[in-house]
Amino acid sequence: MSLLERYVQPSEAQIPTVSHHGEIPSGQPTTTIVIDGQEVVAVVGETILRAAQRAGMNVPTLCDDEKLAPAAACRMCLVDIEGMDRPMPSCHIAVEPGMKVTAKSDGLFQMRRQNLEYILSDHNAYCMPPCQIGCPTHIDIPGYLDLMSKGQHVEAARLVKEVLPFPYALGLVCPAPCQEVCRRGLVEEEIAIRQCHGYTGELALEMEEAPTPFPKKTATGKRVAVVGAGPAGMTAAYYLALDGHAVTVFDRLQKQGGMLRYGIPEYRLPKVKLDKELNSVWQLGAEFKGGKELGKDFTVESLLAEGYDAVFLGIGADVSNEMRVPGEDLPGVLPAVKYLRDNASGIPVPVGQGTRVIVLGGGFTAFDCARTSRRLGAEVTIAYRRSRKEMGAHYTEVDDAEHEGIKLEFFVAPVRVVEKNGRTAGVEFQRMELAEPDASGRRRPVAIKGSEFVMECDVAIAAFGQTPDVEFLEREQGIRKTRRDTIVTNAAFMTDRPGVFAGGDAVIGASTVIQCVGQSKLAAKAITRYLEGADMAAVANEIAAEEQVPELIDIVPYKPEEPQVRMPFLPFEDRAKSFALIELGYDKSGAEKEAARCLQCVCPDVGRCHLQRLSLEHGLTNNRFHRAEPVDYHDYEYDFSHDFILRDLNKCINCTQCVRICRDVIGANCYGLMGGGYDSIVTTPWNVSLSYTDCVSCGACAETCPTGALMMRERDLQTYELDVVRCIYCGDCVEVCPHGALGETPNFELSTYQRFGVTVLAKEELAAARTWKPSEHIPTNEETHRSPVRPPEVRPPGPPRWGA
């Protein structure tokens, strides 16, 4: 009996093909087929796709639902079957004894990829926002900007702190990779994303208790030592403390902050406010031990011996690279990191009114040194061996420095430091020029012979980047370092020594604050999983899966032009000799206005969308069918008029799952195809609002929709108020609920249904909770949280009607 025949049998003659858990009930007639060389036991009459899925094989499909008759519409599940002259949809063909099926081959992969490219070429919708991909922490930028624009700043701060614990500090010092890719830039100017979270962060500072993304978890009884109180260490400490571990942070300097305090000058980040923000870590119960140096006061070994269950090394990179020219040991030649640190901790530096300073380098640190020296009254020149374009510092900083009276010298490389009376008197430079492009297309600077000249100075500051200080490793077992003096970790941020993790600059070399935060957020997750006893290879996979996913479509909807809300800055004349903060911060109305400029170019279905998942699996990161005439694409109106179900036809891929589930399972028959040819689209009769159809608001269509074309309106239905006086315990609600969201309990029926949250509680869980009272918290456990929603039983559609 074939599958289609089974659908027209009287319901009593139907037998369930397989249980919903996948095992075959005893007494079912089975047969064996071969899929990709593997023998698979299949129930007679079931489809190849179902047999493959039960055997754990991933055959891509977008239009299949086990409750429904097959449509073979999406053409993703096509497989080669021996003896058939063309690929056949596995969702449609019933198994036959001895069938030989090829579900994975290069040819099929390419064809499926082409199919996806077609689908995406007419999928007129946003997918991932580029800013979220651009930021190393993958922070939900459209989410917090939306909250901010509605004035919900505390909620916004909580959302930000899910991945970014220090939004105020980052709001001032981040180079904002998110803003470079902002789609608003295609309209006129990008959103001031960094300044916006800076505003929420500043607002949170005023609160007595800093908002947290979620309540601190109950204590786990595990102890974690974090070495380094810089951005990496503090981020890790924040999330580890939130996860309920007892965290101790060690630092060799007396105060917290690491490079944020000792590297970034006061005029960019006021230390009083920084402390306020970092204190949120101590509010969570973590402990700080300053003035304790790894390798001197304690070792990794001793920490583990003291009973710490895990160690996180966030030691940063704070050894300035050498100049490697003669004379660099002379008094008056300063390493950049030491110079900034001394100045920040109040130790006198040999720079003052009228000192002639040369800063060598072109990165952030070079500009920090130069602008600090300028504020101390010095005459400053920055010497860089390439052009302005190649400078590592952000262009705004380069411009600001020039305006503050700092001279810039390009295409010069130091040859030696000139000595006079045992002190530095100048630096001898050689002029550079760009060579012809090499094999990689880059033009390297080369020296021009005989172009040497001397620039006089009293102090030369070398800012050629930094490396981690890993001397302590000589006394440690089982932690390796690379040639670049960084610590070696695996994809789960664990060093070769179990329980010892590392992250931030110590692993990736000197980088930006936001990169360290992004790494430490993941490392904290890995540590928690490690302390739970998880398999670290699986954790590495989890982290890889969480990491960035490419966006799939780039379109710009019409928005009226509106320039960026300007950040107020300290005037240049007030900056001389003043370490006052130069970026003054948004006020409430400015921040809200700026946040409202966000295009919200994100699909709420991201992460659940099967089209996105399959596209990523097929490596589809480009599309050849873009930017042609308007007739080549569809632009439909949204239908957001229904109380529970949102419809966006632009995302519809005509898989017809909603048509079939509404007709054959629910019986309301709200959907069908409209239009002809390329313009065919699944919609309601005459494309009316869903409210005017026979819709029963069951949500089955939204649940089965493989994309974001049909979505449940976000709402909180965690608890129904049940009027016990009026309930007659008929059980009707339990019977008709298509999701099994209602269950029978010893007390009475109740519902918990939360589509976007963690769980749909099914009958089994509720029935198992024999002692549960409706006034109590709903009983769940982690396992049931993860189990998929159980589909309802198949209801046969009955014989189709046909014309007279």
Q: Which residues bind other proteins (CB under 8 A)?
A: 2, 4-5, 7-8, 70-75, 78, 86-87, 89, 92-93, 111, 114-115, 118-119, 121-122, 130, 133, 181, 550-554, 621-629, 632, 653-654, 656, 672-673, 675-680, 799-803
Three-class secondary structure of residue 784 per DSSP: helix
DSSP of 45-68: T-BHHHHHHHTT-----SS--TTS
- CB closer to other proteins out of 307 and 677: 677
Q: How far is the CB of 517 from other proteins (least distance, A)?
A: 22
CA 799 to chain centre: 49
- CB closer to other proteins out of 346 and 799: 799
Identity of residue 29 = P
Q: How far is the CB of 11 from other proteins (least distance, A)?
A: 16
- CB closer to other proteins out of 117 and 744: 117
Q: How far is the CB of 607 from other proteins (least distance, A)?
A: 18
Handedness of CA 747, 750, 752, 753 (dihedral sign): positive
- CB closer to other proteins out of 686 and 802: 802
Structure tokens at 450: 């005989």
Scored b (16 or more CB within 10 A) or e, 186-204 reads: ebeebbbbbbbbbbbbbbb
Q: How far is the CB of 632 from other proteins (least distance, A)?
A: 5
Q: Which burial class, exposed, middle or buried, applies to 573 when counting CB atoms under 10 A from its CB (0-12, 13-18, 19+)?
A: exposed
- CB closer to other proteins out of 354 and 799: 799
> How long a stretch of residues is the chain?
804
| Angstrom distance (rounded) from CA 473 to CA 479 | 7
Three-class secondary structure of residue 360 per DSSP: strand
- CB closer to other proteins out of 571 and 799: 799
Three-class secondary structure of residue 747 per DSSP: coil
DSSP of 533-585: T--HHHHHHHHHHHS---------------PPPPPPB--GGGTTT----SB--
Q: How far is the CB of 110 from other proteins (least distance, A)?
A: 9
- CB closer to other proteins out of 94 and 278: 94
- CB closer to other proteins out of 294 and 603: 603
Q: In angstroms, how far is the first alpha carbon of the chain from the final one?
A: 28
Beta pairing class for 459-462 and 333-335: parallel
Phi, psi of 754 (to 5 degrees): -140, 100
- CB closer to other proteins out of 600 and 623: 623
Q: How far is the CB of 20 from other proteins (least distance, A)?
A: 26
Three-class secondary structure of residue 487 per DSSP: strand
| Angstrom distance (rounded) from CA 200 to CA 203 | 5
- CB closer to other proteins out of 257 and 708: 708
Structure tokens at 618: 């097929």
Three-class secondary structure of residue 272 per DSSP: helix
Q: How far is the CB of 51 from other proteins (least distance, A)?
A: 17
Q: How far is the CB of 620 from other proteins (least distance, A)?
A: 9
| Angstrom distance (rounded) from CA 72 to CA 429 | 72
Q: How far is the CB of 572 from other proteins (least distance, A)?
A: 35
Q: How far is the CB of 803 from other proteins (least distance, A)?
A: 5
Cβ-Cβ contacts under 8 Å for 162 (sequence gap 6 or more): 139, 140, 213, 214
Q: Quick count: other Cβ atoms within 10 Å of Cβ 778? A: 15
| Angstrom distance (rounded) from CA 99 to CA 81 | 7
Q: How far is the CB of 91 from other proteins (least distance, A)?
A: 9
Place of tokens 């305090």: 261
- CB closer to other proteins out of 310 and 549: 549
Q: How far is the CB of 71 from other proteins (least distance, A)?
A: 7
| Angstrom distance (rounded) from CA 510 to CA 235 | 17
- CB closer to other proteins out of 46 and 551: 551
- CB closer to other proteins out of 272 and 628: 628
Q: How far is the CB of 624 from other proteins (least distance, A)?
A: 5
Beta pairing class for 246-250 and 742-743: unpaired
Q: How far is the CB of 450 from other proteins (least distance, A)?
A: 44
Within 76-183, where are the H helices?
A: 106-121, 130-134, 141-149, 153-160, 167-173, 177-180
- CB closer to other proteins out of 134 and 426: 134
Structure tokens at 562: 């509106």
Give the CA diameter of the chain.
Answer: 112
